[in-house]
Amino acid sequence: MAGVILLRTTDSLVVRRVAAVAVAVGLDMATAITTPLPEPAALTGLVVELGGEASLEVIADTRRAAPDCTIVAFLPRPDSELWLRAEAAGADVVTTRGRVDRALADTLADRLSGRRRARRIRLAPLAEFAGRLGYVGRVAETPVGPISLYHLDGALWAIADRCPHAGASLCEGELHGDVVTCPRHGSQFRVTDGARVRGPADVGVSTYPVLVEVGEAFVEMPG
Ligand code: FES
């Protein structure tokens, strides 16, 4: 693989580990003090330490200029809002500093093989859902449109929030057991598998796996 990974951090642990990944996959590595800096459009990979607006702009600019660039962003300390904003800006993966190299290597390997890895969207710490049952939230912006989240039977379930009949928001409907009723015309869907229970909708709704990692909940979207 020919190309460059640009590293936007001075964290020596991350620099060392990303350098090892670059060598392993045959890429050059540049840092923010390399001159001249590679153009965003020329990048194969970008690793960014998140730390405010500037880091988000770097992600968004690179994503615009190089849609295929592998972008890994990492948080030096926990910050839920920044995590979500980095994903929204276009990062393929947001992770912690100790996992940057693995995330980068996996994502580059997928790219090399042409495989499309499912995309994960962080929801919230699992503890935030612990004491709540039933409908627990909606994520308005995802690559597949809005999704709604339910906490039932000790697990989190994510379904497409748009009713397939005429687009009403299912999260505004009543939940009885594991069945939600569309607030507009009364279609019913099972939130654990998306199955249609009653029309007028003639199909069910999509469901998305919810994973838990290091105490954080993520929903997985198709690649
Ligand atoms: S919009 Fe949901 S049943 Fe019509």
Ligand 1 centre to CA of 151 (Å) is 23
Q: How far is CA 71 from CA 47, 178, 181, 186, in A?
A: 6, 38, 40, 43
At 18-54, the pLDDT tens digits run: 999 988 888 888 887 666 677 777 788 999 999 878 8
Q: Which atom of ligand 1 is nearest to the CA of 187?
A: 3
- Does the pLDDT value for residue 157 go beyond 80? yes
- Which mutation among 170, 171, 187 tests ligand 1's pocket best, with the greatest number of atoms within 8 A of CB? 187
Per-residue pLDDT, 114: 63
- Does the pLDDT value for residue 115 go beyond 70? no
Q: Poorest-confidence range of 37-46, 95-104, 166-175, 197-206?
A: 37-46
Q: Show the beta-strand stretches assigned E in 9-88.
A: 28-31, 43-49, 70-75
Query: 163 vs 81, which has greater pLDDT?
Result: 163
| Percentage of the residues of the chain whose pLDDT score is greater than 90 | 40
Per-residue pLDDT, 188: 97
Ligand 1 centre to CA of 200 (Å) is 7
- Could you give all domains of the chain from N- to C-terminal order, each with its CATH number? 4-117 (3.40.50.2300), 123-221 (2.102.10.10)
Give, in degrees to the nearest 5, the angle at Cα 48 between 43 and 49: 165
- Does the pLDDT value for residue 1 go beyond 60? no
120: left (phi over 0), alpha (psi -120 to 50) or beta: beta
Per-residue pLDDT, 111: 75
Q: Which tokens sit at 215?
A: 């105490």
Ligand 1 centre to CA of 39 (Å) is 48
